[in-house]
Amino acid sequence: MAKAALPPLLKDLNERTVLETIRSGAPISRAEISRRAGISKPTVSLALQALVEAGLAREVDPAPGRPTYGAVYFDLVPEAGLVLGLDLGARFLRGAICDLRGDIRARQDVEVSDPDPRAIVELIGGLHDALVAASGLSADLVDGVVVGVPGVVDAASGVIRLTHFSTLEGRALRDEVSDRLGLPVTMDNDINLAALGEQWRGTARGVDDFAFLSIGTGLGAGVVLRGEIHRGRNGAAGEVDLVAPGLGVELDPCAAALSALAARLAAGRETILAPPYDPRAVFGAARMSDAVAQEVVAEEARRIATHIAPIAAVTDVPLVVLGGGIGTQGDLLLDPVRLLLEEWLPFPPQIEVSNLGDAAVLTGALALGLRFASDNVFARRRD
């Protein structure tokens, strides 16, 4: 009796699982795919045949020096689909294209000189074109775009709220970018994406529960629980700058507030600090043992710890990663922040500094885009 055909949904699921297993372990044999994916070898063989015929996977040589025992090894075809990631910041639009393996094929930053929405859309369009040209691959392979923006993005409407780009407040920029590029666009809070970037290739790699706190010109947090970003009902989870109103104490650790604090503490005292009290100068002076600068840094650590404490108390995450221009001053901030949290909390989280720097948001945009990429190449195969 002939074997019954696999139901289309199960067949599709098996092929996706096999492709993801190849992505994470290539070059990889049939037997190893079966072991890692928990799928029988005959089912893996059927899935591999379909993936190879569709141009999504291919036979390759094993890793050098690895015994093969006659096994055939597979890798995905990285150029079968591309992801465009974008980070829209106050001064720069950062962009990159990666393939299905996650390898960067083109990377470029351009200056944001005009905050008008139409100008931003055109800037994104121009960067898309430049990146595709630099990659040397067809624009048709770009299956989707992920854009990180400062602010809360409504998932249904794409409308941006609580953003320092006053021109973008209440604007459905996602749809405008999608129309300009002719591609599906996902738009998300930049700090949420930075957290995903840390989880993919940063300090939080492999960690399922953690928070990312960015302190720079602005303040924000991304909370990852059970491996996924927690966005909340309105997409506003992690807006820690909303904690301070009503408390009657100064908690703002951002650049402008730090500069104002330095100006206040420096008044009438002997110090090497001078206007405009740039945060980098303040940290530099603290490293030179300037007493006023060290006092500013101690207060900055208190403000950062004060924002971490409620996150840790509510989520009980084991790790908090600090990012942003101020948050990455780990040599001066890590120890005092850790000591304060150990004093305040029965179960303080581990505090570490981002190793991605200003690439965190862009890395997260690519990470999220890769989650959609398999779906897109499968959908294109059925068209």
Question: Which strands sit side by side in the sheet containing 57-60, from one edge to the other?
Answer: 28-29, 73-76, 57-60
Ramachandran angles phi, psi of 7, nearest 5°: -55, 145
Q: Tell me, yes or no, whether 159 and 220 share the same domain.
A: no
Would residue 2 count as lying in a domain? no
DSSP E strand stretches across 230-374: 319-323, 350-353
Q: Tell me, yes or no, whether 65 and 118 share the same domain.
A: no
Residues in the chain: 383
Tally of domains in the chain: 3
Do residues 218 and 328 touch, judged by C-beta distance below 8 A?
A: no
pLDDT tens digits, one per residue of 74-99? 999 998 889 999 999 989 999 999 99
The tokens for 142 are: 């770009």
Q: What domain range includes position 29? A: 8-76
Q: Tell me, yes or no, whether 228 and 289 share the same domain.
A: yes
**C-beta contacts of 368-372 below 8 A and 24+ residues apart:** 368/146, 368/186, 368/188, 368/193, 368/196, 369/83, 369/84, 369/85, 369/98, 369/144, 369/145, 369/146, 369/186, 370/83, 370/98, 370/100, 370/102, 372/83, 372/143, 372/144, 372/146, 372/186
pLDDT along the chain (383 residues), means of 10: 58 87 91 94 93 90 74 91 94 95 96 95 98 96 94 93 92 96 96 96 96 94 96 88 71 95 97 96 98 98 96 96 96 98 98 96 95 68 54
What pLDDT is recorded for position 63? Answer: 75
What pLDDT is recorded for position 64? Answer: 77
Q: Rounded distance, CA 96 to CA 90, Å? A: 18
Q: Tell me, yes or no, whether 212 and 278 share the same domain.
A: yes
Q: Which of 357, 240, 245 is nearest to 304 (CA)?
A: 240
What pLDDT is recorded for position 373? Answer: 76
- pTM to 2 decimals? 0.89
DSSP 276: T
Q: Residue 20 sits in a domain of what CATH number?
A: 1.10.10.10
What pLDDT is recorded for position 378? Answer: 62
Q: What is the DSSP string of 188-215?
A: EEHHHHHHHHHHHHSTTTT-SSEEEEEE
Q: Rounded distance, CA 231 to CA 189, Å? A: 9
Q: Tell me, yes or no, whether 130 and 186 share the same domain.
A: yes
Would residue 133 count as lying in a domain? yes
Q: Residue 221 sits in a domain of what CATH number?
A: 3.30.420.40
What pLDDT is recorded for position 375? Answer: 65
Q: Rounded distance, CA 174 to CA 159, Å? A: 8
